Structure 1
Amino acid sequence: MRPRAVVTGAAGTVGSRVCDRLAAAGWGVRGLVRSPALPGAPVELVQADLGDADALRVACRGADVVVHCAAALSSDRRMCRETNVEGTRHLLAALGASRRARFVFVSSVSVYDVRHGWSVDEQSPQWSDDVYPYGRSKVEAEELVRSDDHGLAWVVLRPVPVLSMHRSSFWGPLALERARRSAQPQFASRTMPFVHVDNLADAALLAATHPRAVGGVFDVVDGHGETRAYHEALAAATGRRPADPPDDAPAMRVAGTRIRSELGYSPRDRFAEFLGELARATVTPES
C-alpha cells in the first residue's frame, strides 16, 4: 500500500505545493481545507476547520504523515492564537498517541527574536513576549509539537520568506497589493533570505521520509537576495516603488546548514526567476 499523508492548508501557498510534491512521489494525499477549493494535485479534499476536533479525527485517520501547513500570518494576537496555537493543539489531539504517524510542522524563522541579532540559526533566541504576535504564536505552537505529551514522531521546518505567485502568497500577489497601497518597505532587512515554494515542498518531503529528520528542527533557506531587487520587481508591476531599508539597516542571514548536511537538501536558486514573474504580474488598478 502506498503511504498516506494529510496536509493542512491544502489550498494555500505552501500546502498546495506540498500536496503536489507528495502526490508526485506516489503518496495518497488528503488535503484539509476550510472551504471548498481545488488544489493543483490529485488529492482527496476534506473540508475541516482546525477548531473542529471530530472532523480532524476523521480526516487524520490512517495517516502515516501529517504535514501541518495551515497558519494565520497576521499581527492580530487573537487570530494568531486561535489558528497557530490552538489549531495545532487540536490537530495533535486528533492524532492522539498514534506512534504510527509522523508530524511535520511548518513553522517559520519568525520565531527568532531579532532583537538579539539578525544572523540566526536553529539555536538562536526566540520570542518570549507578545511584541511580535505571529512569531510568538509559532514559538508556542512549536512547544506543543516538541512536547512528549502526544507521543508522535515530529519534525519542525522553519522556512524563511516563501517565494510564490500563488494568489495567497504574502511575498507574491499580496505584496503587490501592499506595494500598490503603501510606500513602506516590504522587508526590514537589506538582505532577504528566501526559499522558493517548490524547494520548500521538497524539504517537506524530506521531513516526511528521511530517517534522520525525526526530532529535528531545520531552518529552510535557499539563499539571500537583495531587498532592493525585490522592491524593483514590485515597482515594475505596480508603478510604485516601496522605500528601500536604510543603509544602516541590518542584513539578515539564516544559516540553513543543518538541513543540507543532515537531510541532503539541495535547492536550486530561483530568486531571479521569481523576481521576473513578480515584475511581469498584472496588477488591477485601484478603483
Structure 2
Amino acid sequence: MSYLNGALKGALQNKNVLVTGATGFVGGRLAQRLATEEGAIVTGTGRNLDKAAFVKEAGVNLVHADLSDYEKMETVVNNQEIIFHVAAWLGRHGLGDERAYKLNVTATESLVKQAAAAGVRRLVLVSSIAAYEFPKTQRIYEDTPLDPEQMIIYGRTKAIGEYRATALANELGLELTIVRPALVYGPRADSWTINIVKLIKKGVPVVFGNGSGTIYPVYVDNLVDGMLLTAVHPAAVGEAFNFSDPVLSMREFFDYYGNMCGRKPRRLPFWVANIMVTLNKWFNLKLPIDPDRLKRLALKIEYPTTKAEELLAYKMRVPVPQGMQQTECWLREVGMIE
C-alpha cells in the first residue's frame, strides 16, 4: 500500500527513480518500497549486488556502479526523473579515511552536475544529523549551523557535501531537498541493530555512565516515509528535514536489545571511558571513542521533526515499541537471536 495519499497519491507511479546505495540498509529498503508500494520504475546502484537479493526480487534494476566512476554514473543518471542519493562513505566507526571526502563530497558534487545536465526534476540528498555543530541547545532544529570543520570525518564531509550540493543546485537550477536522519535502526541495520546485538551477546559495554544520556533513533520505515514525501512535495524544494523518532534514554534503547538477547547490557563508567579516550590519543589505539563522542553520549538532546510535520504533513507511523518488535522478529528469522 502506498504511503503517499491525498494530492500526492500516485506521484511516483511509473516515474523513473534512481537510488544510489540501493544495496545498503536504507537505500535497499527505499528501493524496495518504491518498486513494490509506489509503482516507480526503480534503478539502484551499488558495488556488491549479491547482498541485495531482496531488492532485485522487488523488481529493482540493480546496476554495479561506483560513485567515483563519473562516466558510468553519467550513463545511469540519464533519463531519471528523481534521484535519491543515499550512498555514502560511513567508515569504520566514522573515523578517518581519504575516501570519505571522495565519496561524500566529490561524488556528491558530480551527481548534482550530472542530474542537472540530464534534466532530473529533483534530487533528494541523504545527509545526517552528524553534520550539525556540537549541540548548544537541547533541541536541534534544521536551522542549526552545520560544522564542516569538526573532528569526526563522517560528519565533516556530510556538512561539506551539503554546502557544495546546495550551492551547485542553486547555480544549475536543480530542485534539491536534504534529509538528515537520526540513528537508523530496524531489520538489516548494521550499526544500530546488528552490531549492538553482537556487542551485547559478547558482554561488551554499550551503555556509558548511568545511561541517562539520550539516543535519538528513527525506524527505517519512518525514515523512508519522510524520504518519499521529500521527493514529491512542492514545499520540500530547497529545504532540509530532520527525521527522528521520539528520543529514549541510552538505558531504555539498549534495554530493548538486551531483552531480545536475554542479557542485561553492560555499562562503562564515564571515568573509565575518559581514561580510554586519553590512551586512545596517546597510543593511537583506534578505539571507536573520542572526546566529542563521549560528550555527546552524556547529553540530553533531540532532533524534532516539527518542520516535516508542518510543511510536508509527515507523521511517524511506527512507534518505538512496534519498531523494536519488528526488528526482533527479523533478528530471530535470520538466527541472530534465539
- The verdict on a shared fold, with TM-score over 0.5 as the criterion, is yes
Aligned to 1:182: 204
For 1:224, the aligned partner's letter is: V
User: Contact (CA 8 Å) 1:97, 1:152: kept in 2 or not?
Assistant: no
Q: Over aligned residues, Cα RMSD in angstroms? A: 2.6
The correspondence for 1:220, drawn from 240, 243, 264, is 243
- Give, in whole Å, the separation in 2 of the partners of 1:67 and 1:278: 24
Equivalent position SS for 1:212 = helix
Q: Secondary structure, in 3 states, of the residue corresponding to 1:120?
A: coil
Deviation of 1:131 after TM superposition, in Å, equals 1.1
Q: Which TM-score applies when normalising by structure 2?
A: 0.76
Cα deviations across residues 234-254 of structure 1 (Å, max 9, x unaligned)?
Answer: 3332736142787x9321111
The answer as to whether partners of 1:30 and 1:43 remain within 8 angstroms in 2 is: yes
Q: Which runs of 5 or more residues in structure 2 are unaligned?
A: 1-12, 271-296
Q: How far off is 1:278 after superposition?
A: 5.2
Please give the alpha-carbon distance, in whole angstroms, between the structure 2 residues aligned to 1:283 and 1:3. Answer: 37
In structure 2, relative to structure 1, the CA distance for the partners of 1:97 and 1:103 (3 Å cut) is: same
- The 8 Å contact of residues 4 and 28 in structure 1, kept in 2 or not, is answered as yes
| Aligned pairs (5 A) from 1:159-170 | 159-166=181-188, 168-170=189-191
Deviation at residue 94 of structure 1 after TM alignment: 2.7
Of 34, 37, 41, 1:28 maps to 41
Q: Distance in 2 between matches of 1:245 and 1:133?
A: 26
1:237-276 → structure 2 map (5 Å cutoff): 237=261, 239=263, 241-243=265-267, 249-276=298-325
Identity within the alignment, %:
27
Residue 18 of structure 1, CA deviation: 1.0
**How many pairs does the alignment contain?**
283
For 1:221, the aligned partner's letter is: S
The Cα shift of 1:181 comes to: 6.4
Question: In the alignment, what sits opposite 1:69?
Answer: 86
Contact 2:254 2:265 in 1 (8 A): yes
Moved more, 235-244 or 193-202: 235-244
**Aligned residue runs from structure 1 range 124-203, under 5 A:** 124-147=144-167, 148-166=170-188, 168-179=189-200, 180=202, 182-185=204-207, 190-203=213-226
Give the 5 Å matches for 1:8-19: 8-19=20-31
Distance of aligned partners of 1:185 and 1:85 in 2 relative to their CA distance in 1, 3 Å threshold: farther
- Structure 1 39/101 Cα, relative in aligned 2: closer, same or farther at 3 Å? farther
Q: Is the 8 A contact 1:259 1:265 kept in 2?
A: yes
Tell me, in whole angstroms, the C-alpha distance in 2 between the residues paired with 1:245 and 1:207: 41
Among 63, 80, 88, the residue aligned to 2:100? 80
| 1:39/1:141 CA distance change after superposition, 3 Å | farther
Q: Which moved more, 1:76-85 or 1:187-196?
A: 187-196
Segments of structure 1 that go 5 or more residues without pairing to the other structure are none
> Which whole-Å CA distance do the structure 2 matches of 1:256 and 1:245 have between them?
32
The answer to whether the 8 A contact 1:107-1:159 is kept is yes
Residue in 1 that maps onto 2:16? 4
Higher mean C-alpha displacement, 145-154 vs 10-19: 145-154
Per-residue CA shift, 1:164-213, capped at 9, x if unaligned? 121x4310112223443631438987222222111111111111111111
CA contact (8 A) 1:195 1:222 kept: yes
Please give the secondary structure, in 1, of the residue aligned with 2:114: helix
TM-score by length of 1: 0.88
2:218 is the alignment partner of 1:206: no
Task: Name the one with the larger helix percent.
Answer: 2
Cα gap change, 1:69/1:235 in structure 2, threshold over 3 Å: closer, same or farther?
Answer: same
Structure having the higher Rg: 2
Rounded to whole Å, the distance in 2 between the matches of 1:223 and 1:129 is 29
- Over 6 Å off, 4+ runs: 186-189
